[in-house]
A and B are shown apart, each in its own frame.
Chain A
Amino acid sequence: MKIHEYQAKQLFAKAGVPIPRGVVAKTSDDAAKAYGELGTKVCVVKSQIHAGGRGKGRFKEHPEQPGVVLVKSPDEARQHAERMLGSTLVTIQTGDEGKQVNTLYVEQGLDIARELYLAVILDREVGKPVVIASAEGGMAIEELAAEHPEKIIREHYDPALGLQPFQARKIAYALGLDAAAVKSAGTFLPKVCRFFVDNDCSMAEINPLVVTGAGDLLALDAKVTFDDNALFRHKDFAELRDLNEEEPTEVQAQDAGLSYVKLDGNIGCLVNGAGLAMSTMDLIKLHGGEPANFLDVGGGANVKQVTEAFRIILADQNVKAVLVNIFGGIMKCDTIVEALLGAYDNIGITVPLVVRLEGTNVEKARQMLADSGKAIITATDLTDAAKKVVATL
């Protein structure tokens, strides 16, 4: 689960991780007022969307307007806010469609001496969280990793013990910090590492992490994502979720306990199991088609969930044919067919449907299909299914 920068910073503040002073603005009046409250000559007005590259991003409606802007008066804050709020920001991470900005975050200006990069993520190979730091702040870390891997500092820590003081010093010296900043890092870094564990993050990224003229460390940006599997022990995070940022069909799927990702093609896929679902997409492409989605109904889905899956797939206007590929284990093939036949009556299936079934209760399911009298195309194996569905287009 992703959250906005201002929400991440509010959580940082609660955990004692230093952040600049800032005010949330929902209207242009709020933004002008925020400038006055913050009291620094320069303030920063930042678009709040779940995507990076905001500074370099521009608005569809106002091609000159950047997603993050410096302002020097309340009027300036208001004027920029008017252009930003309700408009669509396009950045390298949003894709061409962009994201609508509904919230701004206005922050105090700072005396910045250095900009660093800091992130905590989970190293799946080592099985521990790892601190990733670099003296090259503000830069896209993927580029840095590709071009100058030697400039990236990595330090693993034990999630139960947290980052030890010597580890914080090790990172600080490797970043070339001066004495005052090394001292700040000694408290800043362990706090971020503790935050990562306490909140079940899958990522906590601060880019840039700034060192002020006085040697203090502050999180100038904050990008935090949580482990969805751990949300059960953080009930309060539910209110941080911004549904405007999510694909509506993906939300609908999630609520039904399905795993769905919308893609750009025109062949809808309904599959059980993530690996088989990915392979089905691969196979469609191999035979010249384009998948419209990834959809894993999971291991133990019932008729209601499978019906919802059909509803989601068929709601996509691009879908011109549907491929159902089921290898029943826990999932029973007849459950799928029951939902499928129901979908003809409840939802109305007008596009060609190719069905490949194997596994638990397959004979019964095939009989149900044969008896239904519906124009369903059946396939005997994966290749046959992919060829047949591509041929319907």
Chain B
Amino acid sequence: MSILVDRNTRIITQGITGSAGLFHSQKCREYARDECGRKEDVLVGGVTPGKGGTEVDGFPVFDSVCEAVDKAGANTAMIFVPPPFAADAIMEAADAGIELIVAITEGIPVLDMAKVARFLEDYPETRLVGPNCPGVITPGVAKIGIMPGYIHSPGSVGLISKSGTLTYEAAWQLGNVGLGQSTAVGIGGDPIIGTKFIELLDLFEADPGTEAILMIGEIGGDAEIKAAEHIRDHITKPVAAFIAGKTAPPGKRMGHAGAIISGGKGTAAEKVEALEAAGVEVAESPADMGAALKRALESN
């Protein structure tokens, strides 16, 4: 079992005619075919306005997401559209009835994402993951994103992370202690993102294929603190966590007034404290993520 991605997932790539879009579409196709033994096409095509009716490396290209839904039965969109047009691409996918939108694009203006967040309120059936994220993978079934497939093996750990390469590191460490993942989700490091820690914690809690959860956060904002409170009150499965940025210099990225809203929250120390208070096994070192999850499982 898994969350977000399963055997019914049919992906289209928005921005498939760009170099990154095409490269990763090919990798996603190869992963499903070669590493998951899927016979049917999981990546069913792409969208680039103005290039509808053409084909790129065997992928049919459509003018609009609507057309891709109608003709190719797409229910999932992977977005590689450049930053100036990415917000529009997300809204188009939602409007076309896409259930899961995975926005890989890095560098979208934050106010564009504020508008997207408002827009998506009218589409409660649509889930956005990202932007600025590595994507979602259910090992052995399908991957939607840019993560290297081979470091992920099927298993029972639900993995949630703000950071791309740290997700790879975590998956690799889990592999070293003999644990695979039910699903791994990179939620993205931007100020405004679609799916947050808490929603994924609930999905993993409800997923019979997930036995434990590894959560990777970082400094800034208070999402990890809220997640800690949520874990304390609603999550029964064992949880391990790591918070990156203990030694980051204060004030370098976070503007002056940024600390006000969360009432001074945002440091790694506070996040670690909140997670530990919620019974989470917190890895002290980034090299200890896999082992921490194992400890969480064993002490349960």
Residues of A within 8 A of B (CB): 52, 93, 119, 121-125, 127-130, 132, 141-142, 145-146, 149, 152, 154, 158-160, 197, 200, 202-203, 205, 223, 225, 227, 229-230, 232-233, 261, 263, 271-276, 278-286, 291, 294, 299-300, 327-330, 358-360, 381-383, 386
Contact = CB atoms under 8 A, between A and B. Distances in A.
Contact of B249 (A119, A261, A327): A261
Most B-side CB within 10 Å, residue of A261, A276, A285, A291: A276
Contact of A229 (B109, B148, B167): B109
B59 to A, nearest CB: 19
B254 to A, nearest CB: 10
A275 B217 CA distance: 9
Interface in B193-225: 216, 218-219, 221-223
Nearest to A383: B287
A229 B106 CA distance: 9
A125 B222 contact: yes
Nearest to B286: A279
Given A275-B162, A275-B216, A383-B285, A227 B249 contact: no
Contact of A122 (B114, B216, B222, B264): B114
Contacts of A142: 256, 259-260, 264
Q: Say which size band chain B's interface belongs to.
A: 35 or more
16 contacts: A122-B110, A127-B114, A128-B118, A141-B256, A142-B256, A142-B260, A159-B115, A203-B258, A229-B108, A274-B218, A276-B286, A278-B248, A291-B247, A294-B248, A329-B146, A383-B287
A205 B264 contact: no
A94 to B, nearest CB: 11
B285 A283 contact: yes
A192 B134 CA distance: 36
Interface of B: 20, 83-84, 106-115, 117-118, 134, 146-148, 151, 161-169, 172, 189, 191-192, 216, 218-219, 221-223, 226, 242, 244-249, 251-252, 255-264, 284-287
Contacts of B261: 121, 123-125, 130, 132, 154
Going nearest first, the 3 A-B pairs with the smallest beta carbon separation are A275-B163, A273-B165, A279-B286
Nearest to B83: A229
A152 B169 CA distance: 41
Given A282-B247, A285-B246, A359-B168, A230 B162 contact: no
Most B-side CB within 10 Å, residue of A152, A229, A271, A291: A229
Given A129-B111, A229-B110, 6 more contacts: A52-B256, A125-B221, A154-B261, A232-B83, A274-B218, A294-B248
A158 B148 CA distance: 39
A52 B251 CA distance: 13
B260 A129 contact: no
A358 B165 CA distance: 11
B249 A152 contact: no
